[in-house]
């Protein structure tokens, strides 16, 4: 995941929380977490 992609997920989550749209916020945070886990996994493969 690129930093810009991570930032977009984070901004989407923040905007959804501001609207109190918890379903959208949860989805955005889940996507951010999933991408971070994938990135960490890929980084560990190359070590």
Q: Supply the range of the domain harboring residue 40.
A: 3-45
Count of structural domains within the chain: 1
pTM of the complete model: 0.71
One-character DSSP codes across 20-45: T-HHHHHHHHHHHHHHHHHHHHHHHH
Q: What are phi and psi of 45, to 5 degrees?
A: -65, -35
pLDDT at 13: 92
Number of CB atoms found within 10 A of residue 12's CB:
17
**pLDDT, tens only, 7-38:** 888 899 999 999 999 999 999 999 999 988 88
- The more confident residue out of 2 and 9 is 9
pLDDT at 18: 94
Do 28 and 13 form a contact (C-beta atoms < 8 A)? yes
Do 12 and 47 form a contact (C-beta atoms < 8 A)? no
């Amino acid at each position: 995941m690129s930093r810009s992609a991570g930032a977009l997920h984070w901004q989407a989550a923040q905007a959804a929380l501001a609207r109190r749209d918890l379903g959208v916020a949860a989805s955005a945070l889940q996507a951010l977490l999933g991408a971070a886990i994938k990135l960490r996994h890929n980084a560990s493969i190359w070590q």
